[in-house]
Amino acid sequence: MASVRLQNVTRRFSRDVYALKDVSFEIRDREVVTVLGPSGCGKSTLLRLIAGLDRPSAGEIWIGDRQVNNVPPQSRDVAMVFQSYALYPHMNCYENLALNLVLRKTPREEIDRRVQDTAQLLDIGELLDKKPRELSGGQRQRVAVGRALIRNPKVFLFDEPLSNLDAILREKVRHELKELFARIKATVIYVTHDQVEATTLADRTILLNRGMVQQIGSPEVLYQSPKNLFVASFIGSPSMNFFDTSLEAGSFRLGPQVIPTGLARSGPARIGIRPEAIKIGEGIPATVVMVENLGARFLINAKVGANSIMVLSENRPHSDSIKLSFHPKDIHVFETTTGENLRNSSVGDSGPSQPENSSVTA
């Protein structure tokens, strides 16, 4: 295995069109990192640059202790699993798995041993004589993963490998991949637009938007301490509640109540509160507009004055009039022009103005 480092990497398609802009990060040896972001943010371009299928306009790409900007794909010792599986339809699964070893002129006995070992690892031994058209989507994906594994590369690259699967199969294969990554202890870079995949598979997540890194950290850090408005809105389902307000000495008004944030700041701000952080009981009066049954929980759309607030609750409200409460630590405060999370930048400057075990109530 090997580490991967990008230093000020830019990929420009024309004078004013950037796929990636000044991207820098380091992935440690044997670390599983997911690259997350909306469609068109540069995720697949990033993977293609590391694989050598595309070249950066500026910056450096390192795999281990070697700069690979000018190294051809076949010499980078990386293996890529594509969204489309990219299996050869005229070959059976055994031949698809063995192809790279055959091209390397690996001895036949070694090829057979590695194919059988890989098939056993992925539970596809009974599929080796079948053609790709005879397989289900999940089986094709496992063969595609096996074709990458059998090469024993320094780095594994996954480009949205589960996006063609239905929801139930997607969850099953995701669990299989997580177990597989734990067993092989490989350096893995996994691109996805699905935050469930990103947060469940990764040691760390790189969140991209418009070709730029927004935040890098563990899934817990991205959820609990989003660096900016984009990260806060993209991470979490259902999405964080936002509303514009004006702070007066660190406090803002929501309905009839003045709520302290613990920040020594005055002026325009955007407040963010996650739906699952809001409790129904005593507190701020609200009117129920709509209730969605999500199975184990209910998503409640409530109005507090002119503000629409989503609440995730285990119980359906008994009437159209409810009261809401939330802990001061669950309030995020964002700068209105830059989108910066002011609470993150003010850690250590001033603590919460209420005791740690208290909640905001009326």
Task: Kindly state the average pLDDT of the residues 79-86.
Answer: 86
Q: Closest Cα partner for 339 from 268, 249, 236?
A: 268
Taking CA atoms, 304 is separated from 107, 170, 214, 275, 283, in Å, by 72, 38, 31, 14, 12
- Distance from C-alpha of 160 to C-alpha of 162, rounded to nearest angstrom: 6
- pLDDT 10s digits, 166-200: 888 888 888 888 988 888 888 999 999 999 999 99
Band of the pLDDT at 351, cuts 50, 70, 90? Answer: very low
Taking CA atoms, 122 is separated from 42, 276, 301, 339, in Å, by 30, 37, 44, 44
Q: Return the amino acid letter for 63.
A: I
Task: Kindly state the average pLDDT of the residues 349-353.
Answer: 34
- Distance from C-alpha of 70 to C-alpha of 48, rounded to nearest angstrom: 14
Specify the higher pLDDT residue, 343 or 341. 341
Same domain, 326 and 288: yes
Q: What is the CATH number of the domain that holds 332?
A: 2.40.50.140
- pLDDT of 142 reads 87
- pLDDT of 45 reads 95
Same domain, 51 and 134: yes
- Is 280 among the domain residues? yes
Same domain, 257 and 222: no
**Cis peptide bond upstream of 238, omega within 30:** yes
Locus of tokens 């000020």? 8
On the question of pLDDT at 38 being above 90, the answer is yes
For the entire predicted model, the pTM comes to 0.86
Same domain, 173 and 49: yes
Same domain, 116 and 12: yes
Q: What b-and-e string marks burial along 24-42, b requiring 16 or more CB atoms within 10 Å of the CB?
A: ebebeeebbbbbbbeeebb
Task: Kindly state the average pLDDT of the residues 130-148.
Answer: 90
Length of the chain: 362
Q: Is 160 left (phi over 0), alpha (psi -120 to 50) or beta?
A: left
- Is 257 among the domain residues? yes
- Is 357 among the domain residues? no
- pLDDT of 359 reads 52
Among the candidates 229, 249, 281, a domain finishes at 229
Same domain, 215 and 73: yes
| Count of the separate structural domains present in the chain | 2
On the question of pLDDT at 337 being above 60, the answer is yes
- pLDDT of 345 reads 59
Q: What percent of the chain has pLDDT over 90?
A: 69
Paired tokens of 107: 């001895």
Same domain, 322 and 211: no
- pLDDT of 360 reads 54
Same domain, 199 and 278: no
Band of the pLDDT at 348, cuts 50, 70, 90? Answer: very low
- pLDDT of 71 reads 95
Query: What residues make up the domain containing 255?
Result: 238-345
